[in-house]
Amino acid sequence: MLKVYNSLQIKNIVLKNRIAMAPMVRFGYTGQEGIMSEKLLQHYLNYADKEIGLIISQALTVTPGARVSDRAGAYSDEHIGYLRELAKAYHKNNTVFLAQLAFPGFGFYDAESGDVNKLTIKELERIRDQFINAARICRDAGLDGIELHGAHTYFLNMMASGQANKRTDRYGGDITGRLTLVKEIIEGINSFSDDNFILAYRMGWGESLEIDTMTAKTLEDLGIDLLHVSAGIPQDRKLQLPDGFSFNDIVYTGSYVKEHINIPVICVNDIKTLDRGNTLIESNLTDLVAYGKPFLADESFVINSSGNLNYKPCMECRKCQWFIDGEKCPARRKPDNL
């Protein structure tokens, strides 16, 4: 059997294969008061029986506020209902489901975003407690765990980055200081979680592979169970890739980091097919492969790849319709996706 189909155990939780659906915002699926709209809920439920080993939700906000009220959150017990419905559907089909948690309103390259250096210690402690509370809500809803969103230039990425975080208190300084907030969040979650609850982290790259390695090692030491490596600060980074390496800088960063830590790693970004994903796993460059647009183009991407590992449903449109209206995705509008 191909290694991409092998199971993987993290704590007491067993993933039936090494295939993950990456967290992706579904634009236009509006809700109210942080509760998933029925349309978005049904969209996620449609993936439950599609033979996916791990599904990570789009970012759920840990606090009410602007720019997130039309999507989904995990900051109130009122949100347990829709999360529990997802958990039941996924568990029925032996699919592991993690909720990605994020704090909104901060982006390093967004002039209108907040500045982590201007937050008081009390404000950071309040944010810390909101992350912990959101994880408790996910635990109470029966989810398999959470992923802290520390990538793509957003809040936790800014806190971890020496380019963004210039603080001189306990939340700044070297990488250990810059990850103090994450340390406190992990400690809070560990106070009520157990070996049936995965604590993952989506790590954004830094200025160099050396910094990435230091960050990954620190996160492992802090108790992260699963590391998901993606882009971060700087927004673009070009590496000298080894000859014959047929993947991009983001995948290479994940594969490089994997050599230096002992927890499972997810590689993501433009992997495209199960054949390419299997190559990464066979070569011991990653433990799991995550796909985004292939799952947007075809919910049954895994099933439809079983007879053709080079199946590529995404048509790679110049302007992806999912950023406008996913129902207009040309791959989804075809009579079938094969």
Q: 307-331: per-residue pLDDT in tens?
A: 899 999 998 888 888 887 788 888 8
pLDDT value at position 70?
Answer: 56
Answer positive or negative: Cα dihedral of 43, 45, 51, 53.
positive
Q: State the chain's mean pLDDT as an integer.
A: 94
Flag whether pLDDT at 90 surpasses 70. yes
pLDDT tens digits, 38-56 = 989 999 999 999 999 999 9
DSSP bridge pairs for 268:
290
> 105-143: per-residue pLDDT in tens?
999 998 889 999 999 999 999 999 999 999 999 999 999
pLDDT at residue 35 tops 70: yes
Look-up: residue for tokens 């700044």? 172
Q: Which pLDDT belongs to residue 36?
A: 87
3-state helix, strand, coil in the chain (%, to 5): 35, 15, 50
Q: What's the pTM value of the predicted model, to 2 decimals?
A: 0.95
Model pLDDT, residue 27:
77
φ/ψ of residue 270, rounded to 5: 60, 35
* DSSP classification of residue 57: P
- For the chain, strand residue ranges (E) read 8-10, 13-15, 19-21, 54-56, 60-61, 96-102, 145-150, 198-204, 226-230, 265-268, 288-291
pLDDT interval class at 335 (50, 70, 90): low
pLDDT beyond 90 at 245:
yes
For residue 93, pLDDT over 90 is answered with: yes
